[in-house]
């Protein structure tokens, strides 16, 4: 199979779909890999590294899209990239379609087979291709929040861990999943007061067993969210409904009650955000202010630590890329029901129910689509 790796073009996105080591593995399995010129420069993987691994370097993204059967990316295809997709092609990347109607429409019109990293599952019901970036984003959320609390960033002027004789910042984490667990790890390590809210008692038990009395766990209700958010210095939004738009748990009214200079880091922004006031931002302009509350809503947070993120992501995605390349898209999907969960769009139809419901569009189960791919 011919596999294409275009350079990412989203604002300040330096990650790359496949590393030279992954390319070497694919070439070893008899596949042809086409890499756009300088696609990996941002993470220290240069043309020579890819060529040494057996890849062919193409000068333009157009050339990569034109020649490839399987396109492996990191972030959702931007508008210009979506115009290059063809019905015979398979796209394998993060999509986050539920809150993104323009992208959904373009992918439907392309006729391409579009498999989303974030809805691929495993036998335990986990999200193995989302987890590495959730780990990174969870840890980064505390770094970003600590920075935003500084006065120069319009924050309260608070050191997250305080100092002897001065109390630390109060960090509220909404969601006890992968993002929440990793955010708690860093926040506790920095000496903050940490409260985690979730509706899963089992998830809260796991955090309690992991951290003991260094974290407070609270069952999430509208009342408990309001109680803790209004007293917070830093709020981390780490909620996730796989494939669906994030629930708006922090209302506009609640934001208006928060402390002046407090901070919201909305990690759920890829799925629309869990605060009503959240709007996606970029690494170039990461923050904005509503009612004196600093909002950090960067939609590709892990891109700031692009080398770590690329390596972690490739560790997770390579086995699936090999399955698709070795078997062909249709057989790979038929043989692996967990990969099939990742199919979001195929043959001009939405195959992810959460996306269809979020946008009030027709839906066809992925299993029924297999005969048409």
Q: Which residues are catalytic?
A: 96, 270
Assign 3-state DSSP to the chain and report helix, strand, coil percentages, each to 5.
Answer: 40, 20, 40
Query: How many C-beta neighbours within 10 Å does residue 212 have?
Result: 8
SS3 236: strand
Write the burial class of residue 290 (CB in 10 Å: 0-12 exposed, 13-18 middle, 19+ buried): middle
DSSP-H helix ranges across the chain: 20-28, 47-52, 61-67, 79-82, 101-110, 131-148, 178-189, 201-211, 222-229, 252-257, 306-327, 329-335, 337-340, 353-359, 366-369
Instruction: Tell me the β-bridge partners of 171.
Output: 194, 234
Closest to 321 measured CA to CA, from 94, 17, 55 = 17
Q: 72 phi and psi, to 5 degrees? A: -110, 120
β-partners of residue 345 are: 114, 350
């Amino acid at each position: 199979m011919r596999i294409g790796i275009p350079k990412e073009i989203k604002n300040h996105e330096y990650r790359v779909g496949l590393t030279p080591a992954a390319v070497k593995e694919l070439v070893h399995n008899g596949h042809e890999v086409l890499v756009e010129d300088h696609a990996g420069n941002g993470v220290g993987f240069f043309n020579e590294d890819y060529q040494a691994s057996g890849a062919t370097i193409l000068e333009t993204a157009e050339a990569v899209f034109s020649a490839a059967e399987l396109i492996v990316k990191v972030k959702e295809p931007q508008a210009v990239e979506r115009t290059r997709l063809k019905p015979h092609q398979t796209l394998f990347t993060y999509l986050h379609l539920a809150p993104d109607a323009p992208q959904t429409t373009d992918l439907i019109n392309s006729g391409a087979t579009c498999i989303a990293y974030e809805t691929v599952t495993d036998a335990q019901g986990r999200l193995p291709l989302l987890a590495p970036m959730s780990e990174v984003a969870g840890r980064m959320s505390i770094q970003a929040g600590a920075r935003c609390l500084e006065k120069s960033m319009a924050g309260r002027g608070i050191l997250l861990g305080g100092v002897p004789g001065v109390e630390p910042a109060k960090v509220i984490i909404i969601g006890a999943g992968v993002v929440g667990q990793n955010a708690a790890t860093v926040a506790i390590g920095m000496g903050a007061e940490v409260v985690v809210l979730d509706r899963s008692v089992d998830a809260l038990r796991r955090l309690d067993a992991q951290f003991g009395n260094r974290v407070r766990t609270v069952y999430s209700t509208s009342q408990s969210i309001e109680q803790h958010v209004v007293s917070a210095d830093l709020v981390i939004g780490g909620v996730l409904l796989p494939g669906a738009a994030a629930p708006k748990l922090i209302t506009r009214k609640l934001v208006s009650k928060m402390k002046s200079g407090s901070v919201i880091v909305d990690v759920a922004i890829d799925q629309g955000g869990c605060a009503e006031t959240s709007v996606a931002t970029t690494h170039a302009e990461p923050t904005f202010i509503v009612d004196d509350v600093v909002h950090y809503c960067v939609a590709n947070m892990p891109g700031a630590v692009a080398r770590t993120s690329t390596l972690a992501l490739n560790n997770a995605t390579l086995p699936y890329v090999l399955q698709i390349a070795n078997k062909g898209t249709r057989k790979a999907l038929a043989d692996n029901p967990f990969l099939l969960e990742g199919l979001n769009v195929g043959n001009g139809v939405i195959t992810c129910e959460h996306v269809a419901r979020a946008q009030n569009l027709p839906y066809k189960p992925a299993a029924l689509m297999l005969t048409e791919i």
